[in-house]
Amino acid sequence: MSDADTDSLYYLTTPIYYASDVPHIGHAYTTIVGDAICRYERLRRGAGQVFFLTGTDEHGEKIERAASASGLQPQAWVDRIADEYRSAWRDLNIQYDDFIRTTEPRHEQVVQDIWKRLIERDEIYLGHYEGLYCVACEGFYLEKDLLPGNLCPDHKRPVELVREESYFFRLSKYQQPLLDLYSRQPDFIEPKRRMNEVKSFVESGLKDLSVSRTSFRWGVPVPGAEKHVVYVWIDALSNYYSALQAHERTRAFWGTADRPRAIHLMGKEIIRFHAVYWPALLMAAGIPIPRKILAHGWWTVDGEKMSKSLGNVVDPRKLGADIGVDAVRYFVLREIPLGEDGDFSYDALLNRYNSELANDLGNLLNRTLAMVEKFSAGKSRRWPATASDETRGQRLAEQALRRRSEVEAAMAEPQPQRALEALFALVREGNTYLEQQAPFTRVKTDPDGAAFILYNVLELLRWLGLMLEPFMPERAVELRRQLGLPNAQQGGWPQTWGDFPDGLAVAKGATLFPRIDPDRQKELLETWRAARRAAEEKARAAASPVPATQPAAAAASPAAAPAPSSAADGPIPEVSFDEFKKLDLRVACVVSCERVPKKDKLLKVELDVGPLGHRHVVAGLAQFTTPEELVGKRVIIVANLKPAKIGGILSQGMILAIGQEAIVGLLAPDRDVAVGSAIR
Ligand code: MSP
């Protein structure tokens, strides 16, 4: 490609999402924002000039554990989740140029190449790591950054002490080069206030970064040292670069040292990885750095972080099926300014739908088309117009031009929320114009004048149909189709006012956004809330997966699913010896134990199970005993119970305890037997 061809290339990425669970509205938000920005850029620069990348982050301990909890091999598990993401993005009308998966050979190859370059340049060395690691973040923390009780500040769950041989990246060398970068590219991180946070993090000093792990296998093997796998964040960040490497055409999107291009869009919680580690690694490898780290805020639900373990996760596909995909896209883009946090509310969603989409936009189109049909034989009529009509038409044109500039300014930032604000102000201006010019009255005395008023509104709708496309692509095409425009599928950016064809037959169709009446609103709110209650119930049950006959964990939550029949209620059905033999009961020793924050009945217990290794179980024992009392004790466990999340922590087994409602004792061997011994 020549310089001229590459001059306006635009490259935007979303984070690659962990293949540990299916997408929720938070993931959808980033992807919809990225899609709207890229669709806008395609309209402005031409389709071939824009590259929008998304994908899935498929390696690491977190994924390995999610796979094992569901009884699948990691590859089979990530294949399934990647499919879920792809189909969710298809449903939400996301037009990505590539979907990268970190388990693809094309990616792994590039990760290993980058690694080799870093080794050759002496940017990586072998050492030992001991640190506090949060599996949920796949990140290390310094003690000073943790919450009381050694909790991860993001996930509010205990970090783990990890000690292992590890390769290190000489991150400490990059303190000054990074600070220089932030001065040289003052808009490297946006919003600006995030830049200050990153700067002070870097100014407070950088330690070399542990970049390999030996405690699990699910990752990209380190070239020449195959017992190590590449630290999952190094692996993941490289996707932005690896996805472009296969072809010359796509490589150009990365840009050069003088003309960096990559814009990384993401939630604010992962800025540090993108604004510190990633540019430092690229500098070390001699690869041009990105142009911008663009961080957006977080959606909460009723003020709480969205999480499966709370059961408050909002499913964007379900919403799309109920009220239309473009209404969901519109809502998330319109509701919060990019960079700010926001709380998701079904009421706000329905309010915006009815007042802005159904009333303001839907009515403008409907009324206009109905009047064109009635007053102007179903066709647009451009001429003749009196001088005063021209002036009034001109006023509408000026409003459209002004709003178009506002949209352009907003998208240059980018701020889709402000772009939509401007577009819907224009919609309201169109409605006001209709009210004031009153073609429905005018037609009685001056049918030509009425037709010209309608012509202006048709032109306004054409402009809206083009400018709304990045945000609501499917409805924008439908709007243009109903206007009767030839090639309605083909969009563009409005150029000249007055291009609406003369004599065009409009094609009024079904309402663009049918009003959701109070009964339907009630019905929708009820189904959404019922789904939420069911998810919360399920989450509570998962926090307490053991039936009441196994009180150790049943005590975890009083609100758990109704207990099946128990010893107190009546006889428990017989089991055959073969069924009993399926249980792998073992002697285990409690190595460490701690309370689970905010769960007054739960203890997180680390067990040594001899030949089966170490594992964690979460037990409802906190009201019966203390962590101090438990450490060092021998207990009996069910070792092959399907792993489950209890209180947000993966529990791999169950400690056998005595008692019905309250626990009164623990089962233990009567003499000193080897840890891990089987029970028969
Ligand atoms: N795999 C890493 C990213 C690696 S990028 C090289 C990861 N994955 S994730 O599945 O946890 O996705 C995090 C991203 O999803 C956030 O940065 C954000 O873009 C989006 N969101 C997830 N939950 C969100 C909200 N509740 N609100 C807004 N966006 C959120 O981190």
- Kindly report, residue by residue over 313-331, the tens digit of the pLDDT: 999 999 999 999 999 999 9
Both tokens assigned to 58: 């498929």
Q: Looking at this protein, which amino acid is placed at residue 116?
A: K
For the cut 90, the answer to whether the pLDDT of residue 585 exceeds it is yes
pTM, two decimal places: 0.79
pLDDT tens string 375-397: 999 999 986 667 777 888 899 99
d(Cα 4, Cα 568) in Å, to the nearest integer? 81
For the cut 60, the answer to whether the pLDDT of residue 270 exceeds it is yes
d(Cα 637, Cα 679) in Å, to the nearest integer? 10
Report the number of secondary-structure helices (H) and strands (E) in the chain.
25, 25
d(Cα 63, Cα 84) in Å, to the nearest integer? 15
For the cut 50, the answer to whether the pLDDT of residue 565 exceeds it is no
Angle 74-91/61-69 helices, nearest 10 degrees? 90
- For 412, the enclosing helix (H) or strand (E) is helix 387-412
- Which residue's CA lies nearest to atom 6 of ligand 1? 237
Question: Rounded mean pLDDT of 546-569?
Answer: 32
Q: Looking at this protein, which amino acid is placed at residue 625?
A: T
Q: Is 152 a catalytic residue?
A: yes
The candidate with the shortest Cα–Cα distance to 57, out of 287, 211, 242, is 242
In degrees, rounded to 5, the angle at the alpha carbon of residue 429 between the alpha carbons of residues 426 and 433 is 140
CA distances from 399 to 405, 433, 460, 675 (A): 10, 11, 10, 79
d(Cα 386, Cα 126) in Å, to the nearest integer? 83
Question: Rounded mean pLDDT of 42-54?
Answer: 97
For the cut 50, the answer to whether the pLDDT of residue 549 exceeds it is no
Q: Choose the most confident range, by mean pLDDT, from 210-219, 421-430, 442-451.
A: 421-430
Question: Rounded mean pLDDT of 261-279?
Answer: 97
Min mean pLDDT across 288-302, 516-530, 551-565, 618-632 is at 551-565
Of the pLDDT bands very low, low, confident and very high (cuts 50, 70, 90), residue 564 is: very low
Q: Is 24 a catalytic residue?
A: yes
CB atoms within 10 A of CB 457: 25
Residue whose tokens read 């030509």: 448
Ligand 1 pocket: which of 20, 29, 134, 314 to mutate (most atoms within 8 A of CB): 29
Burial status of residue 400 (CB atoms within 10 A of its CB: 0-12, 13-18, 19 or more): buried
For the cut 90, the answer to whether the pLDDT of residue 628 exceeds it is no
Tell how far the Cα of 265 is from the centroid of ligand 1, in angstroms. Answer: 10
Burial status of residue 405 (CB atoms within 10 A of its CB: 0-12, 13-18, 19 or more): exposed
For the cut 70, the answer to whether the pLDDT of residue 546 exceeds it is no
Q: Which residue has the higher pLDDT, 581 or 517?
A: 517
Check residue 547 and give its pLDDT.
36
Check residue 388 and give its pLDDT.
78
Q: Looking at this protein, which amino acid is placed at residue 121?
A: R
d(Cα 374, Cα 370) in Å, to the nearest integer? 6
Both tokens assigned to 540: 């509570």
Tell how far the Cα of 345 is from the centroid of ligand 1, in angstroms. Answer: 20
The candidate with the shortest Cα–Cα distance to 187, out of 418, 413, 338, 415, is 413
Q: Which residue has the higher pLDDT, 187 or 600?
A: 187
Check residue 553 and give its pLDDT.
32
Any residues with Cβ below 6 Å from ligand 1, and which? 15-18, 26-27, 29-30, 57, 236-237, 239, 266-267, 269-270, 298-299, 306
CA distances from 6 to 40, 208, 245, 260, 286 (A): 18, 36, 16, 12, 21
Ligand 1 pocket: which of 240, 270, 335 to mutate (most atoms within 8 A of CB): 270
Min mean pLDDT across 95-99, 339-343, 485-489, 538-542 is at 538-542
d(Cα 499, Cα 497) in Å, to the nearest integer? 6
Min mean pLDDT across 109-113, 370-374, 673-677 is at 673-677
Question: Rounded mean pLDDT of 496-508?
Answer: 96
Q: Please say whether the beta carbons of 339 and 190 come within 8 A.
A: yes
Q: Which residues pair with 523 in a beta bridge?
A: none
In a 3-state reduction of DSSP, which class is residue 615? strand
Contacts of 62 (CB under 8 A, 6+ apart): 18, 20, 135, 136, 138, 232
Check residue 560 and give its pLDDT.
28
d(Cα 443, Cα 420) in Å, to the nearest integer? 33
pLDDT tens string 396-442: 999 999 999 999 999 999 999 999 999 999 999 999 999 999 999 99
Q: Is 38 a catalytic residue?
A: no
- Which residue's CA lies nearest to atom 18 of ligand 1? 267
Tell how far the Cα of 267 is from the centroid of ligand 1, in angstroms. Answer: 6
Q: Which residues pair with 212 in a beta bridge?
A: 230
Residue whose tokens read 């089962």: 667
Number of residues that this document lists for the chain: 680
Question: Rounded mean pLDDT of 41-61?
Answer: 97
* 574: DSSP letter: P
Check residue 215 and give its pLDDT.
86
The candidate with the shortest Cα–Cα distance to 11, out of 30, 37, 32, is 37
Helices marked H in 74-129 — which ranges?
74-91, 105-120
**Rounded mean pLDDT of the chain?**
90
Choosing from 24, 274, 292, 599, the catalytic residue is 24
d(Cα 415, Cα 114) in Å, to the nearest integer? 34
Check residue 598 and give its pLDDT.
81
Backbone phi and psi for residue 394, each to the nearest 5 degrees, phi listed first: -60, -40
